[in-house]
Every structure is written in C-alpha cells, then in structure tokens.
Amino acid sequence: MRIVSVEELTSRLGALPGVEPRVVVSGNFGTPTILLEALAASRDRCRVFTLNAQSGWLIDPGFVNETPFVGPGMRHDPELDYLPMRLSLVPRLFDSLRPVDAVLVHTSVPRNGRLSLGIEVNILPAAIERVHARGGLAVAQINRNMPYTFGDGEFPTDWFDLAIESDQPLGSPGPRVISEAEMRIGERAAGFAADGATVQFGIGQVPDVAAGELIGRRNLGIWTEVAGDGVLALEQAGSLDPGRPIQASFLFGSPELYEWAHLNPRLRMTRTEVLNDPARIASNPAMVSINTCMQVDLFAQANASFVRGEVYSGFGGQPDFVLGALHSPGGQAVVALRSWHGKSDSSAVLPILTNPATSFQHSAIVSEHGIAEIFGHSQRAQARLIIDEVADPRARDDLHAAISARVPSA
C-alpha cells in the first residue's frame, strides 16, 4: 500500500479499463468522500455500486449509480440502476453479472499490518477479495476517526494498492422525533423477545424504541445487520449475554457508538453473505426479527420498498431475516407499521398490495392499535386478525367488505 496525493489517485482512477468500469464504494456513514470526489474528477463515465447512500452523496452526471438498497442520497436519481434482490445474494453479483474493477473504502489507520473497514463491512469484503483476485485497484481512505473493528472487515495493508490519509469526523443519523404511535408499536414489538432471545433490529424509530424496551431483559444475543445506539444501551445495561459476541454488518449511530466499537472484542463485524444467510440466522436461539414496513395487505405481504410505485429503499435484509427467524427454534418474525399514512390520508393496511412485496408470512404484524399473531391461521382468519388488530378503525369496514372478494374461504 502506498500513500499518494489526490492528483495521483485521480490519474490512476482515470486509467481504469473500459468505458464504464464498476467501482464499489463504502456506503451508509462510511462513504469515503475524498475518494469519491477523485473518482468523479477522473473520468467521464463509471458505474458506482454502494449500499444506502446517505444525504450528501456526490451527484455526478458521469456516475451510473447501482444499488440493491437505495438510500436518501440516491432516492431521486432518475438514472438509478436499482437491483431488486435479497442482500444475502448481492456478493454473488461480483462473480458473475457485475464484476468489480476497483474498490474505494473508508478504513481505520493501520494496526499490526492490517486495516479495518470500521463501521461499514457488509458487501465490501466480497468486493475487495474479487478485486484482489482480478488484479484490480483497491484504494483506502485512512481516517484516524474510523474505529478499528474486529471481524471480516480486517485486511492486510498490502491488499490495498493506494491510500489517502484523512482526518474527518464520521457521519451520524440526525435527531429523530419518536411519536406516541411509534412508542406503542416499539413496546409491542419488544414483547416478542424474552430472556435469552437473539434479536435483529432494522433501521428506524420503531426498532430504536424496541431496543430501549428490552433493557430489562437478560442474556440477549444480537445478530443484526445494523447495530445502533440501542445495542450500545443494551450492552451498557447488562442485557446482553457476555458469552455471545455482538454480530453486526454495519454501525449506524452516534459518535459514542463509534467510540465504543473501537478495538472492542465483544463486537464482531460480519460480512453480508454470512450474517444474512437465512440458515445461519435460523441457527440462533429464539431469533426475533423486528422490521418495519410502509404497507401490509390481508395476505400478510409487507411492502418496505416502494412509495407510489417508485423504489424507496429495496428488499435489504428483511426477507433474509424473516425467513431465518421463522426457522429458528422459538423464533418470531415481527413486522411493524403505523396503520394510517397522514400525508396521503390513507390506510397502510390494504386488501392487496399494489406495490411489490418485500416480505411475507410473518409471525406477527404490529401497529399502534394492536398485534395480529397470524402464524398458523387460515387466510380468512389471518385477514380478520390484521383488520381487527392492526388496521386503523377508519379502514376496517372497507377491509372487511374486501375479504369476500379477495380472500377465499378457508
């Protein structure tokens, strides 16, 4: 690995082969902004592959943005190349349809001849390995503020060709106001996790509330894509099993969370194809998956991906964790939502989804009104539970009227 100037880096990126070389870039709050700016300056066209690009993502006319999980930084890109697929399968793309020419990653400072990907691991180990095997270009933005985390994100420094040194604060999600409805939903979702359970949290206010409600539990395990401040609070409260490592794929939280993660032997950052493997998820005892969505229907299909027919996020890990949790001994797959959309003044519970489904066949659906424990019920009984326990009262008459037309007798 050689430390270079931005000018030399720009020259090397400009020499990447092909008209549209594919470059995998750290996403979430691990985006290496200096490297991304150098890439934009280096050439007229390239394909940029990242996960959950945050606000402030560099919008460049030469970037063809590719992603299986759309973040706010790419959400309104009219040229976005969205890839609808389970997150667990994304690393396979790098072996087949979407080979990688370069990787640009945000790393810790070297330690004992190794760099760490810090707060953002997920699909990056697979991309780095493929580039290393193909003789492509691997570049690190070394940041003294990036925590050194243990696990699959550790690589020898000689696996990287070039590096830029930086001293930039890492980004964090902004303050979020939690509504009374979200408080009720989070409290109900947390009720599915007993002492000794293993928990997965999605991103958002409801999973954050659920994490807070679990502080009184003991011997919990964490097997989750995203670890946030709720996981830190559980650790500090003594709620987590000291004999089980905290397994996560990326961190999404405060500077205090990042500081806690630095050189923490309790935390193991795990690559996507392992962490999101439904069979491995199912091997955890009493796995409780807590995710959110924007719509459900009477067939227990959930939409967490689309708004008004346009992609909002993507499948992400929700289908992986729903499937894995359902096969875990004592596991529960919980999907949560607010029952009514205030902006559109419409029900979030529909007779049948008009957008593509993200996941289906959950253990339970939770709203601010109640819990529909639907596992093992007939279609008609399931639909009635969803209407009576989850739907807003304003929508219930119309939904009951739709049962005869939409849901056959059991």
Give the pLDDT of residue 410.
Answer: 42
For 282-327, what is each residue's pLDDT tens digit? 999 999 999 999 999 999 999 999 998 899 999 999 999 999 999 9
Give the pLDDT of residue 392.
Answer: 97
First to last CA, the chain: 64
For 191-201, what is each residue's pLDDT tens digit? 999 999 999 99
DSSP E strand stretches across 144-258 = 150-151, 154-156, 162-166, 198-201, 221-227, 246-251
Statement: residue 408 has pLDDT above 70: no
Statement: residue 176 has pLDDT above 90: no
In CATH terms, 2-166 corresponds, of 3.40.720.10, 3.20.20.330, 3.40.1080.10, 3.90.79.10, to 3.40.1080.10
Give the pLDDT of residue 369.
Answer: 97
Give the pLDDT of residue 406.
Answer: 59
**202: pLDDT confidence band, cut at 50, 70 and 90?**
confident
Give the pLDDT of residue 312.
Answer: 93
HEC-encoded secondary structure of 339-393: CEECCCCEECEECCCCCCCCECCCCEEECCCCEEECCCCCHHHHHHHHHHHHCCH
Proportion of the chain above pLDDT 90, given as a percent = 93
**Is the Cα torsion angle 5, 115, 113, 88 positive or negative in sign?**
negative
Closest CA to 143 of 178, 169, 113, 179: 169
**Is the Cα torsion angle 238, 241, 244, 249 positive or negative in sign?**
negative
For 235-259, what is each residue's pLDDT tens digit? 999 999 999 999 999 999 999 999 9
Give bridge partners of residue 292 from the DSSP assignment: 336
Helix (H) or strand (E) holding 63: strand 63-67
Per-residue CA distances from 286 to 126, 196, 272, 289, 360 (Å): 29, 8, 21, 10, 19
Q: Where do the domains of the chain lie?
A: 2-166, 180-406
Q: Please state, in angstroms and rounded to a whole number, the distance separating the CA atoms of residues 324 and 125.
A: 22
Task: Enter the tokens of residue 104.
Answer: 């640009």
Q: Please state, in angstroms and rounded to a whole number, the distance separating the CA atoms of residues 282 and 325.
A: 6
On whether the 180-406 domain is CATH 3.40.1080.20, my answer is: yes
- B/e letters for 92-126, b = 16+ CB within 10 Å, e = fewer, are ebbeeebebbbbbbbbbebeeebbbbbbbbbbbbb
Mean pLDDT, the chain, integer: 95
Give me the mean pLDDT over the 16-33 stretch.
97
Task: Say how many C-beta atoms besides its own lie within 10 A of residue 409's C-beta.
Answer: 8
Give the pLDDT of residue 177.
Answer: 87
Give the pLDDT of residue 403.
Answer: 86
Residue 250, Cβ density class (10 Å: 0-12 exposed, 13-18 middle, ≥19 buried)? buried
For 150-170, what is each residue's pLDDT tens digit? 999 999 999 999 999 999 999
Long-range contacts of 178-182 (CB under 8 A, 24+ apart): 178/205, 178/208, 178/209, 179/205, 180/368, 181/338, 181/368, 182/206, 182/209, 182/338, 182/368
For 348-373, what is each residue's pLDDT tens digit? 999 999 999 999 999 999 999 999 99
Statement: residue 102 has pLDDT above 80: yes
Task: Give the pairing type, strands 114-116 and 154-156.
Answer: antiparallel
Q: Please state, in angstroms and rounded to a whole number, the distance separating the CA atoms of residues 30 and 44.
A: 25
Task: Evaluate whether 181 touches 141 at the Cβ level (below 8 Å).
Answer: no
Q: Which residues contact 78 (CB under 8 A, 6 or more apart)?
A: none
